[in-house]
Every structure is written in structure tokens, then in C-alpha cells.
Amino acid sequence: MSDNVFPVPAEVASRALADNAKYLEMYRKSVDDPAGFWGEHGKRIDWIKPFSKVKNTSYDPHNVSIKWFEDGTLNVSANCIDRHLETRGDQPAIIWEGDDPADHKVITYKDLHREVCTFANVLLAHGVKKGDRVTIYLPMIPEAAYAMLACARIGAVHSIVFGGFSPDSLAQRIADCKSTCLITADEGLRGGRTVPLKLNADRAAEKAPVDTMIVVKRTGGAVAMTGGRDVWYHEEAAKVSAENTPAEMSAEDPLFILYTSGSTGSPKGVLHTSGGYLVYASMTHQYVFDYHEGDIYWCTADVGWVTGHSYIVYGPLANGATTLMFEGIPTYPNAGRFWDVVDKHKVNIFYTAPTAIRSLMGAGDEHVTRTSRESLRLLGSVGEPINPEAWMWYYNVVGDKRCPIVDTWWQTETGGILITPLPGATPLKPGSATRPFFGVQPAVVDAEGNILDGATEGNLVILDSWPGQMRTVYGDHDRFVQTYFSTYKGMYFTGDGCRRDADGYYWITGRVDDVINVSGHRMGTAEVESALVAHPKVSEAAVVGYPHDIKGQGIYAYVTLMAGEEPSEALRKELVAHVRKEIGPIASPDLIQFAPGLPKTRSGKIMRRILRKIAEDSFENLGDTSTLADPAVVDDLIENRQNRA
């Protein structure tokens, strides 16, 4: 790994919210006196009834309980909209850039207020009440943000499902949280191609019925509407008022559920609540991106992922920022699209994922260098480790060696960024997420849970709670405790491995569980395996990740066929199509190896360590294979491996 150090440029430090001394002082206070620190910073948002209690949290596995600001009341939507109306009603809240470069729209805070109130009234008119779950399956159009904020306004709990998920995945998520209302669009539009969202929603609703389906018209493509259930959003909006009084919510009332993959079982409904989440999302947005009044801020994520929740919608809007929302993809109409949009809207802060950087890096520098990018001041990275080569390209070519890069480590569960540089405070090392944010106490542990000191390597845990932490797995608190607090007693286990260097910088090395990270999308290998074995010709499957130049990790599937079935190219394609249909295109296996047998111990446990090595094409050192029931299967696996250098 690279240990190049990039000092904080003087002009960045001079305008920044925090230099190194201030970071150290604030960090110290935040861990020495969390209640004092967060009691002060909790006031950054508007409370209807101020809180008197700050922190009430326990990581004791017998009683995991996380509450912040618990006796305060607020409304998240009012914090993101109403409180800005007087001072910045005419300022753009959202700049929406369509898939087609000719398409864009500026939504001011006043516009946002009108749109969100209207959407809230449509939900109320259709019987959605405080506490009800609303599933949102929308493309990256402003209505996605309106729908989220409308739910927050009336106290309904949104659950967004990424538009790339299949009908089955959508149905599973609707059923798990018992949503009665689904918000979708006729079609999505990405890279000039349509995505049949309403059709998918109809198929999902066959398995997981909803009372109401609200359909936003995006493309005007023909769709079937089911009488008594489906309504067009624009028709309903025309019937209601554009004024709505926000509901008074308690700090610990749920704000949203977001499903994410784990190492076992079906995706977990990660539950975030209102007060602590908003304090944490807004504070991290301000400090990590060194956000100043008037900045144009762009996060390229989709609202279907947590990054879109915290850093397209809630964090920036709570801060009264202008947030850019992009419908399209980085390579349409060409690989210079991001930089054209930066120039078009004079973007100052740009936040994207390593996989996008790597794919654009491969498309050639001329797509970047033909643009000006002079508005850019800060770059960010999220979702997976950024390799030093990609970091250097991002820094040199995109940022013209002027812009610090904040490599932000966090998770759906954490609600906001936990480990990150602060632009004015932290010298950068390419590939390192550097140091903890205020209030975050990371530690590195060995397999037994012993805390390791100094420069070391092991598993990453967090020792105490921060306000943005998830509160539970929806409907399954035991699973929450089991997954995060039982591996290492009294600590939050992240599932990530990491190294800490002599400067105290953290280097995330990737997941240490059976979760893989494909193009920044988190995937449970067990989910892909269960999709594969659902195919009638498959008897057994084992899925592992392998290093992939663009995606970070690719999906490598070992498949054993039913007796009598023959491996073929056609069957390989059929299996890929099958997984796409079951989960969605993001889960498509990159490589499938037909394996007559899988390496198992005598007790029948698949030895994944061996499968990972073979998938990495580094099988010289397979370790001990003597405990295998049939060591000969390994030779066949090596012989027929699919990933050859």
C-alpha cells in the first residue's frame, strides 16, 4: 500500500471549518464527554420540544438499546425544508439533472415545500398514517426526494428499494415490513434505456399485495393500471392542498427502513430513527465535505442506497445546501458526463464511488481533460476501498492536484460517515479512510476480541454508540443483537477487516464475513447461492468474491448440477439470467464454474477459504486440505478454474 502523504493545502486549511488542532480538540471532547458534546451539537437541528436527555445507549448483549435525544420532538421534513424558507426560500434546494443532457430542473426550497406538502397530502388522502410503512421504488427523479420527505412529514416510515432490484426482491421487502402503500413510476430512464418499474411493481404486488400503488409518470410509456389500487400521482396531486402541517415526532420514532445484505439469511431491514440520525447526517455532511453556504454539492449515489438517504437528501437539505440529483449513468452519452455536469452546474463538492472512478479511468483522460472542472474544490469516495491507483487518478486528473479527497468509510447500519479525513485537518494517504469522525471510537480486535494497540491489523469494531447508529433490525431485535453485538461482547462489530498504521490511520481491507462488495453494492453470497439453487438444474452452489479491476469484487459461482445435467455455455447464460431475474442485474455472476463436487469437511461444511483462493487464481498456497472429505475435488476445481491470469 502507498504511504504517500498529501499535506493539507494552506488555502484549504484557511477556509475550513476545522483545522487539525480543532479536530483533535473536538474529537477529544466528543469521546471524553459524549453527552456534553452531542448535547451541544444536537442543537444544530430544530426541535419542537427540546431534548433534556442526550445519550442512553447500551451495547450489553443482554440488553442492546440505543436512544439519543429521546425526550425531544421534531419533524425531519420541517428541518429539511420549512426552517429554510425564510432565509433561502428562493435558493435551489435540488438541482435535478436528467438522463438526457438536455433535461434539467431547478427546485428551490419554496418549490420543495410545495411539492412535499402536496405529496404528504396525497399519502394522507390514501389513508397512510403515522407509523405506516411506505415502500418507494422510484428512479432518480425529484419525486423520490419528495416522497421520502413526505413520509417524514406525516411520520410514515419509508423503505426505499433500489430500482435495479427484481420483482421478487421488491416483494420480499414489501412483505417483510408490511407496507400497505407502494410508490413507483411508469418507467425509469438510465443511459437512454427504459426500466419497467411499474411492470416490476405489478409482479411484486402479486406476491406481496398492497392497498395503494401511487404511480409517478416519468416517461409516459404504456402501463397497466389496476382499478381500486393504482392511481396516477399527478392526478391525485391536483386534488389536494399544497399546505401541510408537519407531524410532531419523537426523536426515537422511526424515519426509515433500508434493506441490506448480511452474511446469512434474507436482507435485514436496517431501522433508523429521527433525531439522532438527522443530527449525525447533517453534522457529517457539513464537516466532512467542509460545506459552506452557497456551495453546490453533488453525490452521485442512488437514493436506493444509504448514501443517497444521508448525503443526497437528509444531510444536505438539513444544512440548507443545494444538492444535485442525477438520473443517469457516468458513461451516457459518453464517459465525460460527470465532468460536463460539474461544469454545467458549477459543482464544488463531488462525491462518488471507486467503481465509477475506475471505469472512467479506463475510458481515457481526454473525457476529463476536455472539461474545465474549475468549480471543483473537494472530492469524495465511498462504498468500497479505493485502490491507490484510482485515488491518484482521481486526485491528479479529475481534481487537477488541487482538491483533497475524502475517503469516507461507513455502512448502511452506521447512518453516516464514521471514518474519514476532514479536508482542513487531515493529511491524506491514498487508500486510507484515515481517522474517526467526532464521537466515533474505532478499535481493532483479534479473533478473540482482544483490543490490539498501535500499528496492527485485525477486525474493526466500534466501542460506543454515535447518534446515527441503526436502532434495530425491523421486526427482529434478536437478529440485530446477534449480528452486531455477539461476535465481540460489548462492541459493535462492523464485519470489516482493517489495518491501523503507526500514524493511527485506518485502512479498511474489506469484509471479513460472507458479504461481497460488487461495484459498491453490498451482496450476501448466501442470497446469490439460494437464487442459483432455486434453478431446477442446480443441486448445489457456492459463491465467493474475487478481485475485479472495475467492480472491486466480481461474483464467482461454483455450481454443481443435478445428476444427468450437462454443463454448457447455454446453461451458463441461463443461470446468469436466472439470478438476474431472482435478485436483479446487480447480482449477475461474473464467472460460473461447473464443479462436479465442492470441497467439504467430513461434517459437510463447504471450505470457502479454498474456493476463494481458487477464484483469486492463487491456489499455490491452499493451506491444509487434509480435513476434506475428498481432497481430489480440489484438483478438478483448480484445473477448471475460470479466472486465469
Tell me the binding residues for Mg(2+).
533, 535, 538
Minimum Å gap between C-beta 493 and ligand PRX is 11
Using CB under 6 A as the binding rule, whether residue 184 contacts ligand PRX is answered as no
Whether residue 301 contacts residue 311, with contact meaning beta carbons closer than 8 Å, is answered with yes
Q: How many residues does the chain have?
A: 645
431 closest CA partner among 362, 379, 381, 356: 381
Whether residue 637 contacts residue 599, with contact meaning beta carbons closer than 8 Å, is answered with yes
Minimum Å gap between C-beta 331 and ligand PRX is 21
Work out which of 37, 59, 233, 410 binds ligand PRX, going by CB under 6 A.
410
Q: Binding-site residue total for ligand PRX (CB under 6 A)? A: 22
Site for ligand PRX in 495-514 (CB under 6 A): 495-496, 508, 510-511
Using CB under 6 A as the binding rule, whether residue 593 contacts ligand PRX is answered as no
Query: What is the spatial distance between Cα 50 and Cα 71, in angstroms, rounded to a whole number?
Result: 8
110 closest CA partner among 133, 130, 127, 85: 85
Work out which of 112, 347, 433, 586 binds ligand PRX, going by CB under 6 A.
433
Using CB under 6 A as the binding rule, whether residue 274 contacts ligand PRX is answered as no
Helix (H, G, I), strand (E, B) or coil at 632: helix
Strand partners, 459: 445, 497
Whether residue 166 contacts residue 173, with contact meaning beta carbons closer than 8 Å, is answered with no
Position 196, amino acid:
P
Q: Which H or E run contains 511?
A: strand 506-511
Tell me the binding residues for CoA.
190-193, 307, 519, 580
Position 148, amino acid:
M
Using CB under 6 A as the binding rule, whether residue 307 contacts ligand PRX is answered as yes
Window of 184-192, 403-411, 480-488, 555-563 that interacts with ligand PRX by CB under 6 A = 403-411
Of the pair 148, 637, the CB lying nearest ligand PRX is at: 148
Of the pair 307, 459, the CB lying nearest ligand PRX is at: 307
Query: What is the spatial distance between Cα 275 and Cα 270, in angstroms, rounded to a whole number?
Result: 16
Using CB under 6 A as the binding rule, whether residue 436 contacts ligand PRX is answered as no
Minimum Å gap between C-beta 512 and ligand PRX is 9
Work out which of 132, 176, 236, 384 binds ligand PRX, going by CB under 6 A.
384
Window of 75-83, 93-101, 408-416, 614-622 that interacts with ligand PRX by CB under 6 A = 408-416
Using CB under 6 A as the binding rule, whether residue 578 contacts ligand PRX is answered as no
Using CB under 6 A as the binding rule, whether residue 180 contacts ligand PRX is answered as no
Alpha-carbon Rg for the chain, nearest whole angstrom, is 24
Work out which of 382, 397, 559, 579 binds ligand PRX, going by CB under 6 A.
382
Provide long-range contacts, Cβ within 8 A and 24+ apart, for 418-423: 418/442, 418/462, 418/466, 419/506, 419/508, 420/284, 420/288, 422/16, 422/17, 422/18, 422/23, 422/287, 422/288, 422/290, 423/8, 423/12, 423/16, 423/288, 423/289, 423/290, 423/378
Residue nearest to ligand PRX as judged by C-beta position:
412
Position 479, amino acid:
R
114 to 81, 107, 181: CA distances (angstroms)? 10, 10, 22
Using CB under 6 A as the binding rule, whether residue 459 contacts ligand PRX is answered as no
Q: Cell 429521527: give the residue.
A: 274
Using CB under 6 A as the binding rule, whether residue 316 contacts ligand PRX is answered as no
Minimum Å gap between C-beta 93 and ligand PRX is 23
Using CB under 6 A as the binding rule, whether residue 12 contacts ligand PRX is answered as no
Window of 92-100, 119-127, 333-341, 494-502 that interacts with ligand PRX by CB under 6 A = 494-502
Q: Cell 472530492: give the residue.
A: 379
Using CB under 6 A as the binding rule, whether residue 260 contacts ligand PRX is answered as yes
Whether residue 48 contacts residue 248, with contact meaning beta carbons closer than 8 Å, is answered with yes
Using CB under 6 A as the binding rule, whether residue 298 contacts ligand PRX is answered as no
Of the pair 501, 636, the CB lying nearest ligand PRX is at: 501
Of the pair 119, 298, the CB lying nearest ligand PRX is at: 298
Minimum Å gap between C-beta 600 and ligand PRX is 28
As given in the structure block, the three cell numbers for residue 571 are 446453461
Using CB under 6 A as the binding rule, whether residue 587 contacts ligand PRX is answered as no
Query: What is the spatial distance between Cα 207 and Cα 167, in angstroms, rounded to a whole number?
Result: 9
Work out which of 412, 459, 483, 525 binds ligand PRX, going by CB under 6 A.
412
Query: What is the spatial distance between Cα 235 and Cα 574, in angstroms, rounded to a whole number?
Result: 42
Using CB under 6 A as the binding rule, whether residue 385 contacts ligand PRX is answered as yes
Q: Cell 484557511: give the residue.
A: 14
Minimum Å gap between C-beta 384 and ligand PRX is 5
Of the pair 309, 600, the CB lying nearest ligand PRX is at: 309
SS (H, E, C) 585-598: HHHCCCEEEECCCC
Using CB under 6 A as the binding rule, whether residue 361 contacts ligand PRX is answered as no
Alpha helices in 274-336 (DSSP H): 275-288, 306-308, 315-318
29 to 13, 374, 404, 437: CA distances (angstroms)? 21, 37, 26, 12
Number of Cα atoms under 13 Å in the Cβ half of residue 446: 5
Minimum Å gap between C-beta 517 and ligand PRX is 5
Using CB under 6 A as the binding rule, whether residue 517 contacts ligand PRX is answered as yes
Tell me the binding residues for ATP.
383-385, 407-412, 496, 511, 522
Minimum Å gap between C-beta 527 and ligand PRX is 14
523 closest CA partner among 548, 550, 553: 553
Per-residue x/- marks for ligand PRX, 121-160, CB under 6 A? ----------------------------------------
Helix pair 275-288, 34-41: axis angle to 10 deg: 80
Tell me the binding residues.
190-193, 307, 383-385, 407-412, 496, 511, 519, 522, 533, 535, 538, 580
Window of 78-86, 449-457, 490-498, 530-538 that interacts with ligand PRX by CB under 6 A = 490-498
Minimum Å gap between C-beta 303 and ligand PRX is 13
Minimum Å gap between C-beta 383 and ligand PRX is 5
Per-residue x/- marks for ligand PRX, 45-84, CB under 6 A? ----------------------------------------
Q: Binding residues for ligand PRX, per CB under 6 A?
A: 260, 306-307, 382-385, 407-412, 433, 494-496, 508, 510-511, 517, 522
